[in-house]
Amino acid sequence: MIEVLLVRTSLSRLAPGLASRPAAATLLAIAVAAVGLGPAASPAAAATIPAGAGSYTDSRPAGTSGPTTNTGAPVTPKLTTAARDKPVPTNDWWSSLAYQRYGDNPYSTPMYGHPLTYQAKASGLEVGYPTTPAIVGDGRQYEYAHKADLTVGLSGLNSPDTKADAWSDWTVTPYWADGSRTFRATIGHGMPFVYAKGSGGDARITTASTPSVFSDDGNVLGITVAGHHYALFAPTGSDWNVSGTAITAGLGSKDYFSLAVLPSTDALATYRKYAFSFVTGSQVAWQSTGGTVKATYSLTTEAKEGTERGTLQALYRHQWLHTTDALTPYTYVSPRGTMKVRESASFTTSQKNNGVVPALPASSGVDKARLAGYLNEVANASDPFSGAADTYWTGKALGRLAQLVPVADQIGETATRDKLLGLMKGRLQEWFTAGGASEFSYDKDWKTLTGYPASYGSDTELNDHHFHYSYYVYAAAIIAQYDQAWAADSAWGTMIKHLIRDTANPSRTDSAYPFLRGFDVYAGHSWASGHQGFAAGNNQESSSESINLSAGLVLWGAATGDNNLRDLGSFLLTTESEAITQYWFDASQQVFPASFGHDTVGMVWGSGGAYSTWWTANPEEIHGINVLPVTGGSLHLAREKAAIKRNIAEMERENGGPAQEWRDLLWQFESLSDPAAAKAKWDGVNGNYTPEQGESKAHTYHWINTLNTVGAPDMTVSGDLPTSAVFSKDGTRTYTAHNHGSTARTVTFSDGKTLSVPARSTATSTGPGGSGPDPEEPGPSTGNTFRLKSGGVLTTATTDPAGTDTVASADGVNRDGTPYRPTVYEVKKVNGKVASGTATAFRLRVDAGTKVGLAPQVRISYDLTGDGTFDRAETFRYFATDPVNGWEEYTQASGAQATTGSLGELKNGTVRLEIWNALGNGTSQVQTGTDAAVLKIPYV
């Protein structure tokens, strides 16, 4: 045990990117393997494959390993014959179907599709719907762990293993065969259905406890198990038979059946409609134009009976926050907060593009002489790579140098710039040439490119490729900005494209690499483990290193003229940014369970999240691991400035004071919200500290002092060029953009500002606008005025962007006084005492366009203790809108229609505003994010 503790101590200093490792008991073995003493293979004579000026091998270097089981035995993908030649997307939510990490488990570990969870076993597929979180690990982790409500399969099925048979962007079909029976089940993210096909036996559902039947209509059976409602659908003409915990139905000449988890028993009729519309595939399509990123998520279906080809999909929070598509009233519980159901085979999201810039703009706040001195410290160091040998630490060193190149160029230090570029080129070329001490090797079984020396399981577990290679892609993009010939395919660009294809391949037809290996397009973020061999599902720790890859794609695509790769980077970054905001930082405070006592997590798991890292419990690293590396791709974090302030405050509480070890990272993080506070901390140390190993004093000094001068990023404004950004201070906005192209162009920003940018140059200008310094956000315990924020949030923040939400149609029925498909806004953890002589007040702007006879109506409800029961409800008279385009103001002056319950002291309470259309047959709009979208409660 002493040896293990020593290894953990060393890893805490050496592994800020460590992710996806097994439990602490195996850290010693991992550390040994990482330095080349682990299990080794005996590769055949390696062939060298040319790639432009570079090369890689098709066989591992002597003494190294590829993917193995936990005992060190080599392992190949667990696929059916039909799938054998298809590149398998390791690092997915279902990877344990294909990667048998544990030799005694040939089926799978728990897989978290949401709302359903799954685990393969000999008799079929376990299915669960966890709805109650558990707080574990001394309060440091919350989880909605898989627990089987039922198992779906065939009578007598006893398969020796489960293989992956087919997959698409977010669905997978596992396969069972025992010699007499075959069974397939298509499952996926957001899918309330399991679509089953089998031969050789009857359909069989085995429940975890004796079910209660709430509906029996022959081939359609409604049951309740463990408090969860399911519908079972056998082919027409069949009949379900219930005997204890066994439920069977003969399939006759058919080979299909399905089941669905229901949000309520009265949803059975709706779900029955789609029972035989079997999902056969899933695909996302993205587009980045005019400063907006749009994505359409589509399912393909097959009608097993009848002609219905539609379906039902449950959208994650990061999706429904950004769609205007109609949603049903149905919802599900998940570790990512409420999922909302759409009745359609597709939906579209739209977000402002989160820009990426090579460097922050030039500013008067930077002392050029001092900065030049810091730059020289790095450029003239005896070993600028700090002894880095493996892919991860080499990448970190490349990233550190890459951040300084445009900074040196900005202040006219061209000799230093070129020296840094030379260092980066030299090291990359070493790695990109087979046969030396470091090289890349292609594994034809797993269809992946691995760098050796490897680290942190990037070889033996296929972990973290997107983390490691992000630095190489980013560094190459900076080189390409200054030396396009170096980045040409005939030179070193082909090797960079191999790394991109390995980690973020945009092609679904590439036979050498899978589509988007680690990025889960439906979950909205990447996964780090290559085998997903954990009870909690897959995981990702350093979301920011995943963002680093997306930012690198934006810059590489822009620098090389590959707009498709540039726009892929924009899609990945913008999508993952919202996922990080919601699932790592819980910025809206609507995701983490109320019983979880943290405002951020270091790691997201399929089952939940954890306030931890793989290698240390140090709060600085728990908070900092989702910040590093700080680059021009980190600006997206500034969208939620109040969340940054909460994050820093929690770190300092948990740490017993300000950061000491990773202080530079956390200063830079804080400067995205409060540059003055960050600068005060920098000034207090005056350069007397040791930088984090991927950082430098030059970069930190430039970052903090620049933002203190131009202000924090203003994420309410976006440019129509992905390599642009806006900053705001004291009512003045600073606009910047880098034009990688060979001709001048004009960048147009969403506030109407235009900026002319010469070819291959950065341009900056200033103008009026912005909200001035970010005000301190009063906590819910002291604020009594809330703004409506798109996505169902009431917030005391005043810096959120203006927007609109859709209010659903009344569908031609009088809904006066009764909320019908309301648009709901809520704030939790509110404390306050009733203010005598005051009353609930609101001011909303609504618009019905040219629709006739609509009437928005509002209800304000108070749950005084946050126990889920609303003690007071105030329903106001509806407001009849006119059929003319333009906003109209709806306030409490319309008068109260009905009031129930009494007001009392709010103690960790909840306040809710619902708005719906009481009349009419069309949708209307309500404004959000402005002073005309306000609720004021009668509390102090």
Tell me the catalytic residues. 464, 541, 545
799: nearest Cα among 785, 791, 787 = 787
In sequence order, the 6+-apart residues with CB closer than 8 A to the CB of 690 are: none
**CA separation for the pair 531, 164 (Å, rounded):** 13
**CA separation for the pair 139, 158 (Å, rounded):** 40
**CA separation for the pair 799, 794 (Å, rounded):** 13
| Rounded (to 5) percent helix, strand, coil in the chain | 25, 30, 45
For residue 126, what is the enclosing H or E element? strand 124-128
User: Is residue 218 within 8 Å of residue 165, measured between CB atoms?
Assistant: no
**CA separation for the pair 72, 200 (Å, rounded):** 37
Residue 505: CB atoms within 10 A of its CB come to 20
413: nearest Cα among 363, 360, 376 = 376
Residue found under tokens 């770190």:
651
Residue found under tokens 């009063």:
778
**CA separation for the pair 718, 292 (Å, rounded):** 8
The DSSP result for 402-454, as a single string, is HHHHHHHHHTT-HHHHHHHHHHHHHHHHHHTSTTSSSEEEEETTTTEEEEES-
Q: Which two tokens stand for residue 469?
A: 């290679």
DSSP code for 472: H
User: How many whole angstroms from its chain centre is CA 206?
Assistant: 34
**CA separation for the pair 617, 612 (Å, rounded):** 6
φ, ψ of residue 271 to 5 degrees: the values are -70, -30
Q: Is 896 in a helix, a strand, or coil?
A: strand
517: region left, alpha or beta (phi > 0 left; psi from -120 to 50 alpha): alpha
Q: Is 827 in a helix, a strand, or coil?
A: strand
**CA separation for the pair 109, 424 (Å, rounded):** 41
User: Is residue 757 within 8 Å of residue 745, measured between CB atoms?
Assistant: yes
Rounded CA Rg of the chain? 28
- Counting beta carbons within 10 angstroms of the beta carbon of residue 23, is it exposed (0 to 12), middle (13 to 18) or buried (19 or more)? exposed
User: How many whole angstroms from its chain centre is CA 143?
Assistant: 17
**CA separation for the pair 249, 236 (Å, rounded):** 11
**CA separation for the pair 368, 912 (Å, rounded):** 52
Q: Which two tokens stand for residue 230?
A: 């399911």
**CA separation for the pair 309, 599 (Å, rounded):** 42
Contacts of 654-660 spanning 24+ positions with Cβ under 8 A: 654/619, 654/622, 655/618, 655/619, 655/620, 659/620, 659/624, 660/620
Q: How big is the CA angle at 791 (ends 785 and 794), to the nearest 5 degrees?
A: 15
DSSP code for 490: I
User: Is residue 213 within 8 Å of residue 223, measured between CB atoms?
Assistant: yes
Residue found under tokens 């919202």:
578
**Is there a cis peptide before residue 453, judged by omega within 30 degrees of 0?**
yes
**CA separation for the pair 256, 351 (Å, rounded):** 39
**CA separation for the pair 819, 878 (Å, rounded):** 11
Q: How many helices (H) and strands (E) does the chain have?
A: 16, 50
